Amino acid sequence: MKRWILTIFALFAGVSVFAADDIGARMAFLEKNAPYLAKVYVAFAVNTPQGQGTNYGSGSGFLYIDEKNRCGIYTNSHVLGPSTTRNVNVVFDGQKDAQKSRVISRDPVFDLALVECPPSLPNGMVSAKLGTADDIWVGQSVYAAGYPFGVRSVTYGLINSIDSPAGPQFFVNQTPLSPGNSGGPLFAFTDMGEPVIIGINTAGALKGFQSHTIHISHIRKLLPRLWDGESMVLHGALNMWWENVRDVNPAQFEAATNTPYPPLRSDGLVVLAVQRGSSAGFADIQPGDIIVGMKQDGADITFSNAREFFIEIVTRKPGDTVELTILRKGESLQKTVKLDEFVVEPE
């Protein structure tokens, strides 16, 4: 009865309704009903043994209009090529010609970029809709849409894990991706049958047969930064290593804290190592400290796990100051830390 009521409501509301296992219908729906999908063309100079040449390529993206009515096309930073790329060409399905668009901002550390919407949009253009962390769970059906090899395509998969060895900003799924899928959205369908974007696919993070997609929570945190007037987004860092108290290797916990396992409490983050010369080190953060709280300018910053703590730190700017509440040998301490700059070490 409940399902029939939801179905009738969805039909009157103009929302598509699918059976839970209707994979093919959902793929077909996205192929025909996602006008905000964009193909992004790039061209940039490269040095070759024969002299300077030009590299041509393409990737995927999507149009999203935020709560401030700002229209942008979001894609991967690596799709745009080197940092000197200032303009790209964008085309939507059904358009005859591509249009030149300006690169507004990019985040090479976490592989995001913002391109301005071209002056002319197709009739009936609508904004993509963003999901939330509540739309991401193990076993969730997901659909990758984009332009692999320049051809519009939709592929299907399942979420394997909400964590990823590629980094806390990713989650893992089995959706097949190919060159050109980079920058395109990963969709999930809500209970009402509405497709929402839960991540951005990045071919640069593929490991084996698993795809690593940038988490929507991370994207939502970074969208305002891309609009902030920074041509290149910089990130804060603590330059220390931590893990959820409940997930740490028991031997590593004992070595870091010099206390027997198991820990006396199951919440919080245990500091495993602190980089010499880092702001965390200067603030007297030590291995074995348990982080249980964080504030900025007197306001509490909530986090419930290592991933959320990481996102809260890196979405702030270098030089920002945060106050950490830590437990050390049963004593609660407040430590003020000025954030370092997040730097990716070359492989």
Neighbour-count burial of 94, counting CB atoms closer than 10 A to its CB (0-12 exposed, 13-18 middle, 19+ buried): exposed
Residue 148: its H or E element: none
pTM listed for this prediction: 0.85
Q: Domains of the chain: which residue ranges? A: 17-233, 236-341
The answer to whether 227 and 72 have CB atoms below 8 angstroms apart is yes
The predicted-structure confidence for 280-321, as pLDDT tens digits, reads as follows: 999 999 999 999 999 999 999 999 999 999 999 999 999 999
The answer to whether 236 and 320 have CB atoms below 8 angstroms apart is yes
Report how far residue 45's alpha carbon sits from residue 120's, in angstroms, rounded to the nearest whole number: 28
- CATH topology for 17-233 is Thrombin, subunit H (2.40.10)
The answer to whether 35 and 122 have CB atoms below 8 angstroms apart is yes
Q: What percent of the chain has pLDDT over 70?
A: 91
The predicted-structure confidence for 146-197, as pLDDT tens digits, reads as follows: 999 999 999 999 999 998 887 889 999 999 998 999 999 999 999 889 999 9
Architecture of domain 236-341: Roll (2.30)
